[in-house]
Each structure stands twice: as structure tokens, then as C-alpha cells.
Chain A
Amino acid sequence: MVIIKQFSVLFTIGIIFVFTNCTTRLDSAPNSIDHPPTPKTASILPLALGNYWEFSFTLHDSSGTPKQNFQNMTLRLDITHVYGLTTDSQIVKLNKNTKVAIKDTLYCLAWDKKISGDIVCHKGDGPVETRGLYVYGTFEDTILNLIDTPYLWLMFPSDSGKSWVIPNKDSLRETGGSVLVNSTNAQIYYIDNNSQYVSPIKFTNCYLYFYKTDQSESYYYYNPSIGPVCYMRYENGRKVKTYILKNHYLRSNESLHFEN
């Protein structure tokens, strides 16, 4: 009897041991992946310190006619600062006394080489519907004004027909609104004076975003290899502004600026 009991205990222990190891082996079986990761996607706006885009822009009067002295003017958009590494967190200064740790790489966009502008960030991983260009706030010289909850500005990649909402309280826009992906293959031309094309203008296929607010309707053409190509703004059904790309410069995403 004693021997049978001992054998039973040993047998039970052995069975348990075998099942445990099998379970372990099952859990760690090679090539067994439940959720393969989605490849990281690039930004709709090429982000690197030093990148810039020059536009020829025209303002129109109430009849849609170009305003005198506001025709074919040049406006430039620069990436003036970069904060953060791609794989690490860092401390950035919000104001003289406040610092915060962030894990994202932030890019500062400024118009007309001003020292103030918007802060954007590209999210290329995670669920596809969350990927795109986000607005993180504004900057004034080296002072960053980060909003509590960064919002999606331009979804990319996307399908035609996708839409999302822009919150009301936003330093970039007057009021909130909605963005719709009007097309992922809309053709538009731009001028590229640097390149040696035979043709005076270059046609390209772009994402066309339609941004609607209470006051206006705007169309944004973005090409992933180029960036912003064209912008058209309408108010009350009439054209008020047009931007068309006429020059741009892109460099590799390498130089970073660290804030102490």
C-alpha cells in the first residue's frame, strides 16, 4: 500500500511536470505569433530639420478677383526645430520653470521664418486609424506650449472618405471642424524651380484633405514625398486664398536639437 501511494504521488507529480512543460513549450513554440506588428508608416509631411516649402500665394477679394499687391507673393514654411529622439524620452522646457518628459519627436513649423509657430509630431505605428500628423501645440522661441491632448490633424495612411474631428480649442485654427479625406490620388501641379524638368510645372498625385469649419472650407493637397503642395481656402463659397508650391527643400531626418 505504501509503495502504491508513493508511486501514485510520484506519477501525479510527473504528469503535472509533463503538462507544465508542455504548456510552457506550447507558449513558447517557435513562429507562433498571434498579432504580427503592422509596419511603421512614414509621415505625410516629410519631417527633418531644415526642410522648407515655398509657396506662391494669392489673396482674393470678395468677387474672387486677386487683390492688387497680393498676387503671386512668396510665403515660406520651415521646420525650425526638432525636439526628441525617436527611441528615447527627453525633458523639454515648457516655460522658464516648467519641464516635462516626452517620448515623442516634436517638429516646429514656422511661417515666414518667424520664431513662433506650431508643433507637430508624426505617429507611424499603432492602429492604422490613429496614424498621421498630430498637433502638439505652439512654440515661441524655445518655449513650448503643449496642449493636454494632441489631436490628429492629417490622417495618413488613409482611405478616401475617412473623416475625423478637430477640437474647438486649438491655437492653430479659429474654431474646430472636421477633416475628410477627399481623395488619396488627386492630381495637382506645382512649380519646382530647382529641378531640371523640361516642363515649367510638375504634376503629382496627392492626398486631398477637406477641412470644414463654421467659417471656411479649405482644401489641402499633400504628397508624402514632397509635403504640402497646394492649399485653397473658400469662405461663403468664394475663393479667398490660394497657395501653390513653387520651391522646396528636403533633407534626411538626422539633425536633432536637444533642450537642456
Chain B
Amino acid sequence: MKRILFCMCIIVVSLQVNAGRYALLIGNNDGGKKLGKLKYIQNDLLSLKQILKDNCGFDDRNISVLYNNSPDQIEKEFLRISKDTASGTEKLFLLYYTGHADQKNLMISGEELPIQKIRLLLAKVDASIKISVFDACQSGSFTRTKGGQLGKPFLFENDNKIKGQVILSSSSQNESAQESDQLKSSVFTFHFINSLRGSADITGDNKVSLLEAYNYSYNQTVVTTTQSWAGIQHPSYNFNIHGEGDIILADLNNQKTGIVFDKDIKGSITIYDKRNNIISEFTKEISKTNRITLNPGSYTIINSDENTTFQNQISLPKNSFSIINKSHLRKSFLSTLGMSKGKFQNTLETAVFTGVNYNLVNLNSINSSVSKSFSSFNELGINPDLSFQTINYFSPVFGLKVNYNKILLQVKRCQFQLNNERFFSANPKHPITSESYNVELNIDQTLTVSIVDLTLGYNIFNPILHLHFGFGLFDINHIIKSKFKDSYFNTITEKEILNTGTLILPQIGLTYNNSFAKFLLMDMGLFYRPQFSNQSIKSNGNIEDLEELKYDFNSLEFQLNLGVKKIW
């Protein structure tokens, strides 16, 4: 499945952080019938908007966000911005697109918006610096494949006046741009936003330049997508800039809340929010400090260095930078392998889970055959109805699953027990003497069924839906206790029979799987067990009665499980 993300990141590059800055952020998750829907478009748009406001000097009123709008609406917004920017002052315009695309067009809800048209609309915007970022498949064609890392000499010039146009794309000409369920974002956009938090500040001057941000995003995107089934993703760029000076993307000195990682910390650093979403990750060099801007709140910091992992949990108050050094971090049981990011389906994942089954089973055949065995009591005026009282019940589930790529092997066990005790009495008349006497019949049934299911699942909608096929082994214990009293013959007779055995039934089902945190999972499933004919079981306590007990476990099951997993 090819995921095509179009991210249009508008990077505002200017020495004058407070110059007029405008941004148009466009996202579309539906590229039409042949293209799958994207998951994190809206999230990326909102995250980018926030970082532009927090770190990049954009005013909220000057940021337009269009989510799932039509090409006509996009064009209208361009024209509106063109009017707003017609005042003549120095301005900076940032265009960001995330969604589907091919080499020449943006794919918006089945319609095509040619890149050429975008260029024409962009030309109408009166801004001295225009920056366009496309986070989409094959968007390298928009940059005319100037890929790789930016060369340092180009950027470090002395003239303050910078004019021109920059185009950044998240992938090269024939590559896919990818989303990550782990990052909950498109890969390139995530790293780009992360860079503007301060992750890319390799000089330690609390500013993030275009060079730093792009190089950081490029490297992180390549690393993240190295293990991807969709292939490695190489961002690319095209610069048409006149003038000199550092192109500063974000100024962290204006921010008041965040974390400062001290000089004695080195290695990879990952920051999670309280919902275990990755907020920032970067590699820190020793002897340099790094400042990461964050919103107030609770965070978990994981630092991995040479196969040792350290962690800490921190609560950031408003308007405060917390300084973290080595002494603040404690060793963690999590391995560095477990903390690697950006892994996709080519991983082995094991999990144990527990949950509950809700079963709908039709036990009419059992009820019928047991009742038939006592039907002779009609002669005495007793008409026993021995139906199990309920056919809907909950049962606990325990299981293990192994997931590799699109294949899921699952073993689970559940058990249910039904009990049914009935009492009947009658006062028949003796057929010969016509005297009336009393008879009583008490029947107590217990049906215990343990089921072990083995199913093979195939991922039909990555990564959440699996279709399962397999078998269930039923271990059945059916105890029937009866007690009969007859006041004519003055007899009391008791009997207990045990019918045990096994059945194997097929099973098909559909599960929805979701992970949260690093090691927790939740899944829901719907399973059906077809049984085409009632079956008897063979075991100890075989019933030699004329009416053999037959079992029918045609059932529908709904399952809800929680578990812990490990990624290998």
C-alpha cells in the first residue's frame, strides 16, 4: 500500500522574525478511489500551525488551514491571501501541502490540481520570500530533484536582504512519502516540526536555521524509513534565493517553556507526552546543550546511549525551562532496540492478552436430546423441559499472538460453564389399583466447555484489521445428575452420568487491533463458528440410551482483549 502524503510545509525563513508572515496550510486525506485514505493529515496541519505560532513568529490570524477543501476553495484562498499581502511591506509566505500527489498534480478528493497552477497562484502572492513544502509522494519532481543536503557556503552570507523562493519536498522524484503509526504523523513533517522545536539546533545558539532544519529532517527521514516496507524516503529541495544571511526558521529564545538538555548528555533522545505520543526525538552530541520548546505538561524522556537506556518523567510548568543533566536520568529496563522509531511491518511482535468473550450459542440440540431421554416420564405425568436457561454468556479469554508483517498467528483459550437444575413432580394414579401416589424428578445438568482456538490472521487493512481463519478444539464435559422418588414403590434412585469428549470446529473472524503506549494493545474481534450438523462426542461415560446426546456449538462471539506486547 502506497501512502502518499502531501505535506505542504511552509517554512518561513527570515532574519526578521517579526516581519509580516502568512501561511497557507493545505491538507487532504482523500486522493480519490484508487488511493487509500491518509490518517494523520489533520494532525500534521494542526501541529505545524502550532509550531509556527510558538517558535516561528506567525500570527494566528495570518495562518489559514484548509483541510479536505476542494481545488476551487484552495484557489479562492490563494486569491484572498494575495489581496492581504498586497500592502507592499516585506512579507514572507509559507505554503504547505500534505496529501496525495503524482509527479504533476496534487490529488484532492479525486480532482487534480496541477502544480503549474499552484505556481501561478503563488506568483500572485506579494511576498519577498516564498517557501513551499510538499509532503507527498513523488514531490521531488516539484523540486526538479535537487536532493541531498544543503551546502553550507550557500547560506552563510552577510547581506540581510534575502529574497526568492524555496521549495522543499519530502521525497525524491519516484519515492513514496510515508505516514507512521508510531509517530502518528507523516515522517517528514514529524521530523520537520521536531526540528523547529530545537532538535535541529546543532550549533547550540537557540536558533534553528534552514540548513539545520533541512539537514536534520533529511537525516531523520532517511533513518526512519530505512526499515520501511515502502522503501527509503529522501527529501529534496530547490532554492532560488537572492541575498545573504542566515535563514533562521525558528528562534527558541522567544520561548518560555521547554527542556534544556545539558552538555553531559549524549545519544538519542525521545520525548513522549502523557499519552505516550512521540513529541520530539533527536541525537544529541556531548559538550553541547540543546533546547527543546514544549507546551506545559507531563513528559517522559528516554535517552539511549551505547545500548543503555535512561529515562525520566518530568512535569513542565508554564514559562519555565527545565534543565536535564545525566544525574536526572535513571537506567531503564527498556532496551535500545525497543526504543527504535519508525519501524513498520517488517517486525516481529509477540503479545499476551486477556479479555472477555461474549458468546451467542444455540444449545437447542443439546436441550432437545436430553429432554428426549426423559420423555418417558410423560407416563407418570412429568413433562421435563431441560433447556439451559441462557445461551448468551461471558467467558474469560487468555491468549498469545505472534505478528510478523501481515501475518498474525493467534492462540486463545476460553471457557464457559452452564448449569441447569430443574425439579418436577406429579401425582399419577396407579394403572391397576387407581390409587394416587407421588413421584418427583430432580435433574441437575452442568455443561463445561473449554475452547482452544488457533487462528491465522491476515492483515487486510494495515495495521488494524485482520481476517482470521482457524479451528477451535472443544473439550466438553457434560454432567447430568438425576434423582427420582416414587412413593408407590417407595424408591429413591439417583444417577450421575458424565459425557466427555472433544469436537473440532472451524472458525472465521475479523479483529480490530490497536496499540497504545509502546507495549500495550487492545483488540476487538467478531468470530463465527459454523457447525453444519449436530455431533455426538465419544469418550468416557458413553451414553447407550436410545437418544444419543448431540451437541451443536454454532456460535457468534464478540471479543474484547487487552494485552502487552514486545517488538523484536
Contacts and interface: CB of A to CB of B under 8 A. Distances in A.
Interface of A: 56, 58, 66, 71-72, 182, 186-187, 189, 191, 193, 195-203, 208, 219, 230, 232, 234, 239, 242, 244, 246
Contacts of B441: 200
A195 B497 CA distance: 10
A203 B489 CA distance: 15
Contact of A196 (B482, B491, B545): B545
A198 B490 contact: no
B492 A72 contact: yes
B480 interface: yes
Given A56-B491, A72-B491, A186-B431, A199 B544 contact: no
Given A197-B544, A246-B491, 16 more contacts: A72-B492, A189-B376, A195-B544, A196-B541, A196-B543, A196-B544, A197-B497, A197-B543, A198-B543, A198-B545, A199-B482, A199-B495, A200-B482, A200-B483, A200-B493, A200-B495
A105 B543 CA distance: 37
B494 interface: yes
B549 interface: yes
Interface string B489-520: 11111110100000000000000000000000
Contacts of B433: 234, 239
Given A201-B484, A244-B489, A196 B497 contact: yes
B377 interface: yes
A234 B544 CA distance: 36
Contact of B542 (A71, A196, A202, A234): A196
Given A196-B542, A199-B377, A66 B490 contact: yes
Given A197-B373, A197-B545, A219 B491 contact: no
A202 B370 CA distance: 15
Nearest to A242: B489
Contacts of B380: 189
A198 B541 contact: no
Nearest to B370: A198
A72 B491 CA distance: 6
A72 B541 CA distance: 27
Contacts of A58: 489-490
B488 interface: yes
Nearest to B499: A198
B379 interface: yes
Q: Which 5 A-B pairs have the closest CB atoms?
A: A198-B373, A200-B495, A203-B376, A58-B490, A200-B484
A56 B489 contact: yes
A202 to B, nearest CB: 8
Given A196-B545, A219-B432, A203 B370 contact: no
25 contacts: A72-B491, A72-B492, A182-B432, A189-B376, A189-B380, A191-B493, A196-B542, A196-B543, A197-B543, A197-B545, A198-B373, A198-B374, A198-B482, A199-B374, A199-B495, A200-B482, A200-B494, A203-B379, A239-B433, A242-B488, A242-B489, A244-B489, A244-B491, A246-B491, A246-B493
Interface in B396-455: 431-433, 441
What is the interface residue range for chain B against chain A?
Answer: 20 to 34
Interface of B: 370, 373-374, 376-377, 379-380, 431-433, 441, 480, 482-484, 488-495, 497, 541-545, 547, 549
Contacts of B543: 196-198
A69 to B, nearest CB: 13
B387 to A, nearest CB: 15
Contacts of A242: 488-490
Contacts of B377: 199
Nearest to B481: A200
A185 to B, nearest CB: 12
Contact of B376 (A186, A199, A208): A199
Nearest to B547: A198
Contacts of A200: 441, 482-484, 493-495
Contacts of A230: 489
A241 to B, nearest CB: 11
Nearest to B484: A200
Contacts of A232: 432
A174 B494 CA distance: 37
A200 B484 CA distance: 7
A242 B435 CA distance: 14
Contacts of A202: 376
Nearest to A208: B432
A71 B487 CA distance: 11
A199 B488 CA distance: 19
A111 to B, nearest CB: 19
B549 A198 contact: yes
Nearest to B374: A199
Given A196-B544, A198-B497, A201-B484, A191 B491 contact: yes
Which of B482, B483, B494 has its CB near the most chain A CB atoms (within 10 A)?
B482
Contacts of A246: 491, 493
A232 B433 CA distance: 11
A245 to B, nearest CB: 10
Contact of A187 (B379, B493, B544): B379
Contacts of B482: 198-200
Contacts of B374: 198-199
B324 to A, nearest CB: 74
A248 B11 CA distance: 98
B436 to A, nearest CB: 12
A162 B52 CA distance: 113
Contacts of B480: 198
A189 B490 CA distance: 13
A143 to B, nearest CB: 36
A58 B487 CA distance: 11
A19 to B, nearest CB: 65
B440 to A, nearest CB: 11
Contacts of B484: 200-201
A71 B373 CA distance: 28
Contacts of A187: 379, 431
Contacts of B492: 72
A244 B492 CA distance: 11
A74 B310 CA distance: 82
Contacts of A203: 376, 379
